[in-house]
A and B are shown apart, each in its own frame.
Chain A
Amino acid sequence: MPDYAFTFQSITAAQGSRNILDRRGIENWILRSPKSLSDLGCGYLVKVRGQNGPRAAAVLRAWGAPFVRVYALFPDGRIEAAAL
């Protein structure tokens, strides 16, 4: 199962979303976005474990968190757009 990454345009937006997930007990990590995922350069992502992906997406949407896209991060390094 892939992990999931929610991309954000700014570190502040990523941190706010991280705190929302923390409050719901959803383990997560903030990382720099790979260059290939930040169309306009220099973004951040919040990564969650695969099994938490759908719940994390629902929580972030409910809070109006400004994530741009969701990606699936496969163990072999592949990254694909995901629909959660």
Chain B
Amino acid sequence: MIYFDSGATTLQKPKAVQAAVRTAMRRLASPGRGGYRPAMEAAEAVYDCRLAAAALFDAAPEQVVFTMNATHGLNLAIKTLVRPGDAVVISGFEHNSVTRPLHHLGAAVTVAGERLFDPDDTLAAFDRAVTRDTKAVVCTHVSNVFGYLLPAEKIAALCRERGVPFILDASQSAGVLPVSLRELGAAFVAMPGHKGLYGPQGTGLLLCGRKPRTLLEGGSGSLSKSPEMPDFLPDLAEAGTQNTAGICGLAAGLRFVRERGTDEILRHEQALRRELAGALARLGGVRVFADDRCQTGVLSFLLEGEDCEKTAQRLGERGFCVRAGLHCAPLAHRSAGTLETGTVRVSFSRFNTQKETERLIRYLKK
């Protein structure tokens, strides 16, 4: 089996991640809920992960909120800033984790920048769309379908100039690109723990440049007499018992990313994507969505005359794990003109190798 679906979740994890989860399940109780040793050790383990995330993403430890996944974090962020009817600007490459909460809220959404692999056009479109009346801008850092690297830093700067809160969806960039909460001046940055950060599923992070509203209320291990949630981070946004084992695994994943460095990880994944894109383009009869100027390690393609799901099924039967369809991002497909066809997506991680990529190329050549 060769796994090429890291855009959904990374399957190969550093060994330290599994070891950390196992150890946590054996030894750690509920963090922040008791003074006895397994509870205090759990609290230290959770804080250790907070520190690791704060260091990697240039935030204060208190600004790091643990979530279930990026969707959870995006819901917290969006539902903090947006009320029904509010004007919100999003890119043309957003995932349903952004568009569905906005639809649910009844926001007045403007889509800015629908040209694939055209960061100048994307930025110009945000420049036109964002006004002082805009209540929030939500932008993905990297398209989960096409690997398109959007000019998020410049969009964030534009938002700062106009006093508009900015939410970054770092689902495909965390662990692959530098992300700095401080430099972005973002209201929120949401990310999963289980993709480029190599943590277990069920983990995510929300970096908070401001206080979120609560999505859940309940026990926080603090100010227990009060009927209200504490008004300070991170307790405000972390009701209920934490996923301590998952958080310990995530801490190990964060250490792996920090030791390797995002530059090295990005270069590795881009090299594999470049090799595959070039080979597919030379095959003929393949529509390849590639642009080396602004693309990470995610590649979409379509074999002419074959349904994308059929292609993925054939590949799956030969042991290649790729994802076909709309990738929960119909807006991105609409922007790229692939809403009716979908695409086949290959998404690399640091654990993929050139040999694996060559095997996929050899099979597709047949």
B20 within 8 A of A: no
Contact check: which of B35, B225, B226, B230 meets A10 at CB < 8 Å?
B230
If A12-B47, A15-B47, A16-B62 touch, does A41 touch B235 (CB 8 Å cutoff)? no
A contact residues around B230 at 8 Å (CB): 9-10
CB <8 Å contact, B44 and A12: no
The reply to whether B61 and A11 contact each other, CB–CB distance below 8 Å, is no
B31 to chain A, nearest CB (A): 7
- A19 CB to nearest chain B CB (Å): 8
- What distance in Å separates the Cβ of A10 from its nearest Cβ neighbour in chain B? 4
Check if A79 is an interface residue, CB within 8 A of chain B: no
By beta carbon, the residue of chain A nearest B40 is A30
Q: Are B61 and A9 in contact (CB under 8 A)?
A: no
Chain A positions near chain B (C-beta within 8 angstroms): 9-13, 15-16, 30-32, 39-43, 66
The reply on B252 being an interface residue by CB < 8 A is: no
Asked if B43 contacts A9 (CB within 8 A), the reply is no
Is B32 within 8 A of A41, CB to CB? Answer: no
Is the pair A16, B61 in contact by a Cβ cutoff of 8 Å? yes
Q: Does B224 contact A (CB under 8 A)?
A: yes
Can you give 9 contacting A-B residue pairs, CB < 8 Å? A10-B221, A10-B222, A10-B235, A11-B43, A12-B50, A13-B62, A42-B222, A43-B223, A66-B232
Residues of chain B lying within 8 A (CB to CB) of residue A16: 61-62
Among the interface residues A10, A13, A31, A43, which one has the most CB atoms of the partner chain B within 10 A? A10
B234 on the A face (CB < 8 A):
yes
| Interface of B: prevailing SS | loop
20 A-B pairs besides A30-B40, A43-B222 with CB distance below 8 A are A9-B222, A9-B223, A10-B232, A11-B43, A11-B222, A12-B50, A12-B61, A13-B62, A15-B44, A15-B61, A16-B61, A31-B35, A40-B225, A41-B223, A41-B224, A41-B225, A42-B222, A42-B224, A43-B223, A66-B232
Q: Complex Cα distance A9/B32, Å?
A: 11
Contact with A along B28-66 (1 / 0, CB 8 A): 000110110000100110010010000000000110000
How would residues 5 to 47 of chain B score, 1 for a CB under 8 Å from any chain A CB and 0 otherwise? 0000000000000000000000000011011000010011001
| Residue of A whose beta carbon sits closest to that of B36 | A32
Between A13, A39, A42, A66, the greatest number of chain B beta carbons within 10 A of the residue's beta carbon is seen for: A42
**Cα of A40 to Cα of B231 in the assembled complex, Å:** 13
Question: Shortest Cβ distance from A66 into chain B, in angstroms?
Answer: 7
Is there contact, CB below 8 Å, between A12 and B62? Answer: yes
Chain B residue with Cβ nearest A11: B32
A11-B31, A12-B62, A16-B62 known; A40 vs B232 contact (CB < 8 Å): no
